[in-house]
A and B are shown apart, each in its own frame.
Chain A
Amino acid sequence: METVFNPYILHVGIIGLYYAILASSWNVVAGMTGFATYSHAAFASLGAYVSALITLYFGLPILISLPLAFFCGALFGGLLGKLSLRLNGTYLALVTLAFSELFRLFLTNEDQWTRGALGLKVPLLWSDSENGVVAQKIAALMIFGVVLVSLMIFIRRVRRSRTGLHLRAILSDELAAASLGVQTEKLRVWVFSASSAVASLAGALYGHYLGLISPEMGSLSQMFLILAMTILGGMGTWLGPVIGALGLEILSEGLRDFGQHHVFLYALVVLLVFRWRPQGLLGGRR
C-alpha cells in the first residue's frame, strides 16, 4: 500500500496525466482534423503564466485564475486559427512555431514581471503543508485525472456527433468537405480555440502543482514531447495519445538511470518508431 502512494510515483503519475491531457488535446486538432500545429506547448505556458500572474499580482484565488487561463487560451487559440486560415501543412507549422517562439522570447525578456528564465514562483494548489505531501499529491492526481477523463468523454461524444463527422471530412479532404457544405473555416477556428484552451488549463494546473514555472514550458522540446507521445500512441486515435503519454513518461523515468543519455535514448526510440511504425501503437494502416 505504501509503495503505491509514495510521492515519487504519484508525481510521475501526475506528470503523465498532464502530458496525456496535452497530447489528447493536440491530437484533436492535429490527428483528428488534420492541422499539425506547433504552438500547443506555448499555450500550456500561456495558461501557466496567465494563472500565475493573476494569482500573484492581483491576489485572485486559483478558482478564478484557472477559468481565466482557459479563456485566454480559447481567445488566442481562436485568433491564431483565424489568422492562419489560409495556411496549410508546412506553412501552418511554421507560423504556429514562429508565434510560439516569439511568445517564449517575450516571456524570457519581460523579466520584471515574469522573472524570465529564472522561473516564476507560483502559489500552490494547497498552501498548508499540514495535509502532508502524499495527500496533496493524491489530490492533484485526482484533479488532473478528472480533467483528463472529462476531456476524453467530450472527445468521444464529439467524434460520434455530426461535428465529428465533419471534422473527419476535413481531415480527409478540406475542399471536398467544403463543397459538401461543411463550414470548414468556422470549424477550424473552433477546434484551434478549444484545443488551445485545454492546453492552457492544463498548463495552469501544472504550474500551480509544481510551484515553479519557466518559459521552458512552451519550448520546442516540450512540443516535441507532445508530438512524440501522440505519434507513438497513434495519431488520430481516441486513446492513443493517452497511452503514448503515460507510456513515454514511464519510459522516461525508467531511463533516468542512464543520466545524461536518457533524453537521447528516448528520442532515438521515438525516431525509430516513427520511421518503422508511423501509425503508432493503436493506429491502423493508413
Chain B
Amino acid sequence: MIRCQQIRISFGGLQVLKGVDLSVQEGEVLGLMGPNGAGKSTLFNVLTGVHSPDSGTIFLKDQVVRLRNPATAAALGIARTFQTPRPLLGLSVFENVAVATADHDLAIRCLQKVGLQNQRDRDSGALNLMDRKRLEVARALALRPKALLLDEAMAGLTAVEMEEATSLICSLKESGVAVVWVEHVMGPLFRTCDRIAVLDQGRIICDGTPDVVSKNPEVLRVYLGEEF
C-alpha cells in the first residue's frame, strides 16, 4: 500500500536517514522502533510531507507520490496522529473531525469507532489525554486514509489505557488501512504488529515478524539491557 525506497535526508550536514526501505500492506500493522536519535521522527515526517527527502521515492499503491506538504499527504490518503495530541482548540470534538471531511455521517462514524460520540459537542480542549488521543485517531480516520501513521500512541498512558489503545489499533486492521506505528513501549508493539522494523542510526537493521525481531542479535545489541 505504502512503500518508500532508499530515503535519504540530512539536516545541517548530519545524515539522519541513510537509505531507508520500508513497506506496509493493506490491513497490516507495521511497528517501527529504534533507540533515540535513530531517525524515527524524521522518517515519520518524511512520510507525512513535513520534510522532503534529499533522495528516494515514496509509493502509494505503487504510484510515485511527491509529498510537498502535510496537506498534500493528507489529500493523498496519508493520515497521522501526533505524539502529544494536538486537538484544534476552540473547536468542538465534532468540528475537529469535520475539518477532515465534509461527510457528516462519516464524521459521526469515526467518533463512534473511537468511542467519542457522546462528547461530540464538548470543547476539544476539555478532553483528558486518553480522549485526546482517541480524537487524534478519529480525525485521522475521517480522511479515509490508505495509510495511517501513529506517533508514539502509548506515550503518557496508564497500563489500562494502553490496553484500550492497543485494541483500538487492532480494530483498525479490519478497515484495510495500512498502519505504521512508531513506538517506544515494546510490549503492545510486539503483541499487535504483523511486522516490526527496527531503525538504528538512519538504517533499517531488521524487518520481520515480532518473533524474528526479538531474536535478532543486532537488535538485541542495540537494545542491550532492555527487557521485553
Contacts and interface: CB of A to CB of B under 8 A. Distances in A.
Contacts of A173: 86, 88-89
Nearest to A174: B70
Interface in A149-196: 162, 165-166, 168-169, 171-173, 175-185
A169 B70 contact: no
B99 A169 contact: yes
A180 B74 CA distance: 6
B44 to A, nearest CB: 11
A169 B91 CA distance: 8
Contacts of B70: 175, 178-179
A177 B88 contact: yes
Contacts of B90: 168, 171-172
A100 B100 CA distance: 36
B139 A180 contact: yes
Contacts of A166: 99
Given A165-B95, A165-B99, A169-B88, A176 B82 contact: yes
B86 A181 contact: no
B71 interface: yes
A176 B75 CA distance: 14
A238 to B, nearest CB: 14
Nearest to A284: B90
B123 to A, nearest CB: 11
A180 B143 contact: yes
Contact of B71 (A162, A168, A171, A178): A178
Contact of B75 (A175, A177, A181, A185): A181
A178 B88 CA distance: 11
Interface residues of A, number: 19
Contacts of A180: 74, 99-100, 139, 142-143
B40 interface: no
A282 to B, nearest CB: 15
B125 to A, nearest CB: 10
A41 to B, nearest CB: 28
A162 B86 contact: no
Given A165-B95, A165-B98, A166-B99, A179 B88 contact: no
B26 to A, nearest CB: 21
Contacts of B167: none
B88 A172 contact: yes
B98 A183 contact: no
B69 A185 contact: yes
B15 to A, nearest CB: 24
A162 to B, nearest CB: 6
B73 interface: yes
Nearest to B71: A178
B106 to A, nearest CB: 13
B129 interface: no
Contacts of B86: 173, 175-176
B74 A181 contact: yes
A184 B71 contact: yes
Given A162-B102, A179-B48, A181-B100, A168 B74 contact: no
Interface in B162-216: none
Contacts of B50: 175
B71 A181 contact: yes
B74 to A, nearest CB: 4
A171 B69 CA distance: 18
A247 to B, nearest CB: 25
A173 B132 CA distance: 15
Contacts of B75: 181
Interface in B85-117: 86-91, 95, 98-100, 102
A179 B99 contact: no
Contacts of B88: 168-169, 172-173, 176-177
Nearest to A173: B86
Interface of A: 162, 165-166, 168-169, 171-173, 175-185
10 contacts: A162-B102, A165-B99, A168-B95, A173-B88, A173-B89, A175-B86, A179-B71, A180-B142, A181-B75, A182-B71
Given A175-B50, A176-B86, A180-B143, 11 more contacts: A162-B102, A165-B91, A165-B99, A168-B91, A168-B95, A169-B91, A172-B90, A173-B88, A176-B88, A179-B48, A180-B139
